[in-house]
Structure 1
Amino acid sequence: MQKIRALLLLATLAQICTGADWCYQSQVTCESHCKGPRKWEEESSTCGGRKQSPINIVTRKTIPDERLTPFQFSGYQQAFRSSIKNNGHSVAVNIPHMATISGGNLETTYKAVQFHLHWGRNGGPGSEHTIDGEQYPMELHIVHMKQKFSSLSEALQDPTGVAVLGFFYEVSKLPNNKYGQLIKILESVPTKNASATFSSPLSLNQLIPREQNLTGYYRYEGSLTTPGCNEAVVWTVFQDPIPLDRNQLSAFSRLKFHDGTSMVDTFRPVQPLNDRTVYRSGSAVVLASLALLLASISLTFGLSHAN
């Protein structure tokens, strides 16, 4: 009888600690009633699929692909007025005008829908994708869908219906003035469902590296990084990071989840690559080789001084 009671108690506790909503690992407690990344498959079976994102990109195992030519960006320089919303998991900005990408071995033209970010804690590790195991402080996702679709839900039914451009951030000594308005408006959306309109127009070009620095990137087939984890995403992860100082990065950690706790570590852990291949552009090859060369020179220089 005591064993039965103990089992019933454990079952009850398991029910108490289980919730219907998904959340990040930083939110998982018995009181939170939410499902962390390890249980996302219970929320959506696709989250247990074989083409899940994000991944760790092992540069020495990437395959060069000469078809990964520079992108053509249209409308990225055009300023637009929009609003930002705290959706309880991140902050997202809808893109109300026609901005498109093509080239880069994409099968067609994709139009921009929205952008959002994933971050760590006060400028600590927080990107979703990692490079050779290195996790950057934050990652920007600009979400696009094929031009022929009228809604993102429709595009997600197509195995290549969505194209996401991923950009890393790095800690810099000086603030990035181009991000001044975005950082400032975070103060107006501290809690879930809070939204605010930008005081002046912004453009997508303000957010990303200069076009000449956008030729080095990685490409693979993956998924959304939140439930339902639809495996319908053509991923492009750029090599050149965006600089923000520590204060700018920390501003995101002052946002709140729906339960009032700090919105930190808003990233999904990396997923198995399985039988997928990660390709790299020609410039990515050059940049990766240059990085290795500089590391080698630095090591040699250090050893010579040690002797």
Structure 2
Amino acid sequence: MRCLLSAYLLPLILHSCTGADWCYQTQVSCDSHCKGPDQWSKVNADCGKNRQSPINIVTKKTKLDERLTPFKFTGYQSVFDSTMKNNGHSVQVSIPITATVSGGNLEETYKAVQFHLHWGTDGGPGSEHTIDGEQYPMELHIVHMKQRYNRLEDALRDPSGVAVLGFFYEESSSSNRKYDLFTHGLRSIQNTNGNTTLRKVSLNQLIPPESNMTNYYRYDGSLTTPGCTEAVVWTVFENPIPLDREQLRAFSTLKFHDGKPMVGTFRPVQPRNGRVVYRSSSAAIAASAVLILASICAAFGLSRPN
């Protein structure tokens, strides 16, 4: 019963509006009474602390960490049915099976509880994290908590009690058939509290192959909605997930509780405040290759006759 209660409470706490006060910037208007991201600290004081998420990851300032080895995923390949819901701030899917992640210098094994997304407007910029100032169209968050905890309240009191895996999306010229059932399901949850059953889905089909998940960044941060609890170990993967324009635009057909289009569902990047962002060794190799190529190109350009 405790496990079931924690699984039920996690989405509520992650997206708790603490008196229905908070909203995204796209919802703020002269006649609205909600508080946009710049005022979230008035909704919950934790939103004004010094270890907030998301952040802009400046790749040249990241620090190589050889301990950031490939992850071990268990249960990610298991197929399940679940409820997909418009919770008034995002689309969210609970994870009713045992799926865990370990390795990658995580302290312990973490169990997956739910996933949700953040997006822009009609496929425009909308990710929460940015890379060197670049904002992707959308971002997936798979939320985990330490396996040893039965209650989310305990996990949130642990500075590393929650682990979130973040994945970017990019626009592709062809559709991603693995997302067909997911995007079709959005039609049934247009309004707040709308829900439908998402059938025969696995976490593996939503994310890149494991071979494409060795390049990633790591830092200590927070939940990206009130209460902004600073208890999250963030892993942000480099390689984006492809969706075509229509698949990306499908998310903008959802509606907030006031009936307005659910667009711009991201928190602006927060100050890093001296935190170190670490990169995996694979990310370092990729970054080095890019720098070497850029240097060669620059040298070639400089050596050409006018």
What TM-score comes out, normalization by structure 2 length? 0.90
Cα distance in 2, alignment partners of residues 121 and 69 from structure 1: 35
TM superposition shift of 1:297: 5.5
Structure 2 partner of 1:231:
230
SS in 1 for 2:289: helix
Structure 2 partner of 1:122:
122
**Are 2:257 and 1:258 equivalent residues in the alignment?**
yes
Cα distance in 1, alignment partners of residues 48 and 195 from structure 2: 33
TM superposition shift of 1:300: 6.6
Q: Over alpha carbons, which structure has the higher Rg? A: 1
Q: Which amino acid aligns with 1:215?
A: T
SS in 2 for 1:249: helix
Residues matched between the structures, number = 288
Larger displacement relative to structure 2 (19-28 or 115-124): 19-28
Cα distance in 2, alignment partners of residues 38 and 304 from structure 1: 49
Query: In structure 2, do the counterparts of structure 1 residues 158 and 306 end up closer, same or farther at CA, with 3 Å as the change threshold?
Result: farther
**Are 2:99 and 1:110 equivalent residues in the alignment?**
no
Query: Aligned-pair RMSD on alpha carbons?
Result: 1.7
Query: In structure 2, do the counterparts of structure 1 residues 29 and 288 end up closer, same or farther at CA, with 3 Å as the change threshold?
Result: same
Structure 2 partner of 1:12:
none
Cα distance in 1, alignment partners of residues 229 and 165 from structure 2: 16
Structure 2 partner of 1:64:
64
Residues 1-307 of structure 1 mapped to structure 2, 5 A cutoff: 21-198=21-198, 200-296=199-295
SS in 2 for 1:287: helix
Query: In structure 2, do the counterparts of structure 1 residues 80 and 269 end up closer, same or farther at CA, with 3 Å as the change threshold?
Result: same
CA deviation digits over 1:196-254, x for unaligned, max 9? 002x3100000000000110000000000000000000000000100001110000001
SS in 1 for 2:191: coil
TM superposition shift of 1:152: 2.6
Cα distance in 2, alignment partners of residues 305 and 247 from structure 1: 44
Q: Which amino acid aligns with 2:258?
A: D
Q: Which amino acid aligns with 1:29?
A: S
Structure 2 partner of 1:11:
none
Structure 2 partner of 1:5:
none
Q: Which amino acid aligns with 1:264?
A: V
TM superposition shift of 1:288: 1.6
Whether the aligned pair in 2 keeps the contact of 1:139 and 1:169 (CA below 8 Å) is yes
5+ residue gaps, structure 1, are 1-18
CA deviation digits over 1:96-115, x for unaligned, max 9? 00000000000000000000
Instruction: Give identity over the alignment, percent.
Output: 68
Q: Which amino acid aligns with 2:266?
A: F
Query: In structure 2, do the counterparts of structure 1 residues 300 and 223 end up closer, same or farther at CA, with 3 Å as the change threshold?
Result: same
CA deviation digits over 1:59-82, x for unaligned, max 9? 000000000000000000000110
SS in 1 for 2:60: helix
5+ residue gaps, structure 2, are 1-18
TM superposition shift of 1:155: 1.1
Cα distance in 2, alignment partners of residues 245 and 131 from structure 1: 21
Whether the aligned pair in 2 keeps the contact of 1:167 and 1:208 (CA below 8 Å) is yes
